Structure formats: structure tokens, C-alpha cells
Amino acid sequence: MHSVLADEFRSRIASGRWPEGERAPSEAVLCREFGLSRGPVRQALSTLRAEGLIVGGRGRPPLVRRNAVRHAASALGSFTAWAIASGHTPGQRTVEQSRRRADVEAAERLQVSLGDPVVTVRRVRYLDGEPVMFENQHFAWDLGRLVMDFDPDSGSLNSYLAACGADLYASTHEIDAVAASADEAADLDVLEGSPLLRVSRTTVDSVGAVVEYADDLYVPGLTAITFENRLFGPQTREGTTP
């Protein structure tokens, strides 16, 4: 219910039914309109507040925010889903899909023993035909087994894994910047040494075990990672926009 409400509110803002800069309906009004108690209405509104679409309150009139971030998609996890949600056409070219024995880095980041089997997938990712990201994914064998049966040129590995019922619970991201190596530069069509945005991701399952890690290299300017940050309140929401 509350997520249905949130979608409804978002579309009302997008359609101009709730004009930007004007007052938004109060919680009480929305409760009456939908015949719901405050719980789900508050939950939906807090999502929109976290997204920065509604501001004010606590005595102040609630306002639909001017100049809100648009198309702040959520997941850094799925390139394909993000690209489609942003209205672009995703593509990929697979550089490597292999089963190998864990080296020191893989053993440490996946928390497996040296020499345990791991699966690596390396792909250049395209947006509307233009290379925007170099993706280096590494899977522990439980997931890797499934990944070896996947055609990496067919699109979203994430939806494939989700369809397999894989247990992907949460990701930790660390962002920094690196200079492009000669190989990366060639694949991404930039100059060697030019700055790339590196997103290092570690994904765990619902019992906290590491199941995947990745180092994704984004070409700056073509894509950017964005997120909202409520000051004096921990509500946040992140996303990426082309």
C-alpha cells in the first residue's frame, strides 16, 4: 500500500497535479482522501521526503520542492535496470567470463580460501551505443555456478540471478577516482591516464556472507552518481543519472 501511495504521489508531482513550489496536501488530508490511517501515508511521504520531492513541515507548510532531482534511479546494482529507467538503451560487450582460482585479492574480498573457485565477468557497458563503464564482477562459487550458465551479452545478470532465486541482500559501495590504464582507456574510448570514477561494491546475502564484489569504472561526464542528503536527519536516497 505505502509503495503504491508513493508511486501515486510521485506521478502527481510529475504530472503537475501537485505543482512544484506549491503546498502539498497534509498527511491528514491524504488520510481522508485514501481512507487510510496515518501509518502508510506517513511511510509513503517519508519516501518522497527522502527523495527530496517534498520539503517543509513541522509547523511549516509542506511544499512540493522546486528543482527536485529527476530520475534519481536507485540501484547502482543493476546497470541494465538503471539505464532503462533513465530512458536509455543499455548494451554490453563481454571481455571475459571465466572460472578461476581465487588469488589474494579475490580471497580477501570474497572471504574465501586462496585457490577456491571464483567466477569473473568483465564487460564494457554501453549507453545508447557509447561506452560508459567498465565492469569487473567477481562471484563466490555458490553464485558463480549460476553465473557460468549465463550469457553475459544477453543483458542483465542481476535479473538473471534474481530469477534464479539468488540471495542478494545488501551492497556496500566505496567511491573514488583512478586514472585509466591503457586497456581501460581503449575499451572506454578515452585517453590513457584520464580520470575514471571507480565504484567498489561488496554484496552480501541475508546472513551477511559476501557473495560478490565488483570494481566498476565509470567515464565521468557521461554518467554521474547522485544522492540526496537530509541535513539534521539520516534519511537519504542515492541514485545515478546519465
Partner DNA sequence: CAGTGGTCTAGACCACTGA
Partner DNA sequence: CAGTGGTCTAGACCACTGC
One residue of 19, 39, 115, 193 binding DNA per CB under 7 A: 39
- Residue 7's binding partner among a second copy, DNA, none (Cβ under 5 to 8 angstroms by kind) is none
- Residue 59's binding partner among a second copy, DNA, none (Cβ under 5 to 8 angstroms by kind) is DNA
- Residue 171's binding partner among a second copy, DNA, none (Cβ under 5 to 8 angstroms by kind) is a second copy
Q: Which of 172, 141, 171, 174 is nearest to 158 (CA)?
A: 171
193 is a contact residue toward a second copy (CB under 8 A): yes
Q: How far is the CB of 112 from DNA (least distance, A)?
A: 21
Q: Residues 61 to 80: which contact DNA by CB under 7 A? A: 61-62
As given in the structure block, the three cell numbers for residue 93 are 560487450
User: What is the three-class DSSP state of 132?
Assistant: strand
Interaxial angle between packed helices 38-50 and 2-15, expressed in degrees from 0 to 180 and rounded to the nearest 10: 50
Amino acid identity, position 71 = H
163 is a contact residue toward a second copy (CB under 8 A): no
Rounded to an integer, what is the distance from CA 83 to the centroid of its chain? 10
* Residue 133, C-beta contacts closer than 8 angstroms, at least 6 positions apart: 79, 124, 125, 188, 216, 217, 218, 219, 223
* Residue 162, C-beta contacts closer than 8 angstroms, at least 6 positions apart: 168
- Residue 214's binding partner among a second copy, DNA, none (Cβ under 5 to 8 angstroms by kind) is none
Q: How far is the CB of 146 from DNA (least distance, A)?
A: 17
Distance, CA of 192 to CA of 195 (rounded, Å): 9
Residues near a second copy, by CB under 8 A = 21, 47, 50, 52, 55-57, 60, 63-67, 69, 74-77, 111, 168-179, 193-198, 203-204, 206-210, 218, 220-221, 223-232, 234, 236-238, 241
Residues forming the site for DNA (CB under 7 A): 1-3, 24, 26-29, 35-40, 42-43, 45-46, 49, 56-62
